[in-house]
Structure 1
Amino acid sequence: MRFLNRTAGRLSRHRRGPLAGLAVLLLGLVMTGGLYAAFAPATASETKADQELIDQGRELFLVGCSSCHGLNGEGIRTARDGYNLGPSLVGVGAAAVDFQVGTGRMPMSNPGQQAPRKERLYNEEETKAMAAFVASLGPGPAIPSSEDYSIDGLSEDERQEAISRGGQIFLTNCTACHNFNGSGGAMPRGGYAPSLKGVDEKHIYEAMLTGPQSMDVFSNGNIPPDAKRDVIAYLKSLEDEPEYGGFGLGGLGPVSEGVFAWVVGIGSLVGFAIWIAAHSTRSKKDKVEA
């Protein structure tokens, strides 16, 4: 007991010594440095990898995109007032690049009103690098993950509910341009709403998120991520749904049906009437000659 008391007394005197505070400070610094050393290497490695990806994307951007969008993505304005050869990419985010490049719309062969979907020129790794570079220019929407747009993890009842909700959202917000079943349609000033059939789920999500070409931007504040996923589920359900009415004429609605009725229906009636008239004339001539 006396030993413990003497030991406690010595420690108490040392704590009150002039070097006690310095020793505690050094001990804290050593512990902090040890913790940083344990976690810092992984962070530094990730930062280096990200920078390498950005540098790779910049090299690709300078070769394939800078002639229209500028060396630093600032855009290029032509001599015509208000006309851009290529808009600024600052703040468009990685999702916009992944959509445009991933669907082959960019780079454009010829500047025009709207970029059509075509065979892509860059592979997945190159597209990811270019997206990383553009994302470094300013904050913008990131590339979505499969969890954002896939319903694979839902039960059958949850799938049907998602499709039903997505159908209501699509019919309310999208049919004016994309038609009731996503077949697309014409737009003013030479634009058009492309068909959504056969489009990758990720690209549909990115289109809603970034608003390419003539499309409006449906941010997560307008349409939440779950609602975007439901819209995609509805569109994919249309691809699996058979055409119970037979030939659907491309699903373009009354326009294609009206053209078919006039050209094929009424055209056939007119042709049949002409044939009847010509046949009747020949019959009368044969009777007169007899």
Structure 2
Amino acid sequence: MKKLSARRRHPLAAFVVLLLALAATGWLYATLAPAEEAQADTSAQSLAIEEGKKLYDLGCASCHGTGGQGSSDGPSLVGVGAAAVDFQVGTGRMPLQQPGPQAEKKPNIYSQAEIDQLAAYVASLGPGPAVPDESAYDPSEGDAARGGVLFRSNCSQCHNFTGQGGALTHGKEAPNLRDVDPRYIYEAMATGPSNMPSFPQATLGDQEKRDIIAWLESVNTSEAPSPGGFALGGIGPVSEGLFAWTIGIGFLIAAAVWIGARTAKAKKS
């Protein structure tokens, strides 16, 4: 007992115990860790990046340059993230059909698997917004009333009050958001395509994005009420009132001219 007590008081005893604890921890990790699953995930990701690079070199490098560094014909893709690729390619905006003020939506030419591979490659060039999980843009989890307030504060200046779109400067436009997949609305907010500003998590979090998507879903359904009568594209009460006033005054002037002409003709006869 005296010998054991003396060993415990030895200056190196604590160091030896620490080494034994670290060795035991390492052994347990090596034994219990899902090494095969981790290796499989890494291999799958590497394969996706490799296939995505082939697709990129074939369909994108002519404008965006080797390695996504950009050129005079296209911006750099370093740091735009997988979400930007999923949005631009998934909506057919890329590859660009022809030069113009902005990329127009059209049927896409890639399968979703190929889009995922392209996104994996571009994501490997630099950190950026990732493709969101379905729960991040599920409108059933959003508050439409709160989303309406957020939309009017941040989006209606370009997209109008109910997301019907509108003209911008230099031949550009804010697209109509009716029947747009919630996933692409989320990705557009996260990445800021064309003239649109981006709304990162620090500006609009997932719940706020869900609220906006829920608002758009509620006002762009066929059952959505229009308490003011004819919606006129949802451009807002001031514009709609001005439209009604202008048409009404124009009709009254036309009626007055017609009545005056008829009266003058009757007097002559």
C-alpha contact 1:149 1:201 (8 A) present in aligned 2: yes
C-alpha contact 2:102 2:194 (8 A) present in aligned 1: yes
Residue 141 in 1 paired to residue 129 in 2? yes
Q: Tell me, in whole angstroms, the C-alpha distance in 2 between the residues paired with 1:179 and 1:59.
A: 40
C-alpha contact 2:49 2:118 (8 A) present in aligned 1: yes
Equivalent residues in 2 for 1:166-181 (5 A)?
166-181=147-162
Q: Which residue of 2 aligns with 1:129?
A: 117
User: What one-letter code is carried by the residue in structure 1 that aligns with 2:35?
Assistant: A
Residue 98 in 1 paired to residue 86 in 2? yes
C-alpha contact 1:163 1:231 (8 A) present in aligned 2: yes
State percent identity of aligned pairs: 46
Q: Which residue of 2 aligns with 1:111?
A: 99
Q: Tell me which structure has the larger Cα radius of gyration.
A: 1
Q: Tell me, in whole angstroms, the C-alpha distance in 1 between the residues paired with 2:29 and 2:90.
A: 44
Residue correspondences, number:
245
Q: Which ranges in structure 2 are unaligned for 5 or more consecutive residues?
A: 1-19
**1:33-62 Cα distance to aligned partner (Å, 9 max, x none):** 9627x7322222222211221122222222
Q: Which residue of 2 aligns with 1:14?
A: none
Per-residue deviation, 1:245: 2.4
Question: Relative to 1, partners in 2 of residues 1:179 and 1:148: Cα closer, same or farther, differing over 3 Å?
Answer: same
Match of 1:228 among 209, 212, 222: 209
Residue 246 in 1 paired to residue 229 in 2? yes
Q: Tell me, in whole angstroms, the C-alpha distance in 2 between the residues paired with 1:251 and 1:29.
A: 63
C-alpha contact 2:162 2:220 (8 A) present in aligned 1: no
**1:141-163 Cα distance to aligned partner (Å, 9 max, x none):** 100011112143x5xxxx5xx22
Per-residue deviation, 1:282: 4.1
Q: Tell me, in whole angstroms, the C-alpha distance in 2 between the residues paired with 1:106 and 1:273.
A: 55
TM-score using structure 1 length: 0.75
Q: Which residue of 1 aligns with 2:108?
A: 120
Match of 2:218 among 209, 234, 237: 237
Q: Which residue of 2 aligns with 1:43?
A: 38
Determine helix, strand or coil for the equivalent of 1:166.
helix
Determine helix, strand or coil for the equivalent of 1:229.
helix
Root-mean-square deviation over aligned CA pairs: 2.7
C-alpha contact 2:139 2:217 (8 A) present in aligned 1: no
Q: Which ranges in structure 1 are unaligned for 5 or more consecutive residues?
A: 1-23, 78-84
Determine helix, strand or coil for the equivalent of 1:76.
coil
Per-residue deviation, 1:267: 3.8
TM-score using structure 2 length: 0.80
Per-residue deviation, 1:256: 5.6
Q: Which residue of 1 aligns with 2:50?
A: 55
**1:89-136 Cα distance to aligned partner (Å, 9 max, x none):** 000000011111112211221222222222222221121111111101
Determine helix, strand or coil for the equivalent of 1:57.
helix
Residue 194 in 1 paired to residue 175 in 2? yes
Match of 1:258 among 242, 258, 264: 242
Residue 203 in 1 paired to residue 184 in 2? yes
**1:212-242 Cα distance to aligned partner (Å, 9 max, x none):** 1111111101112211111211221212422
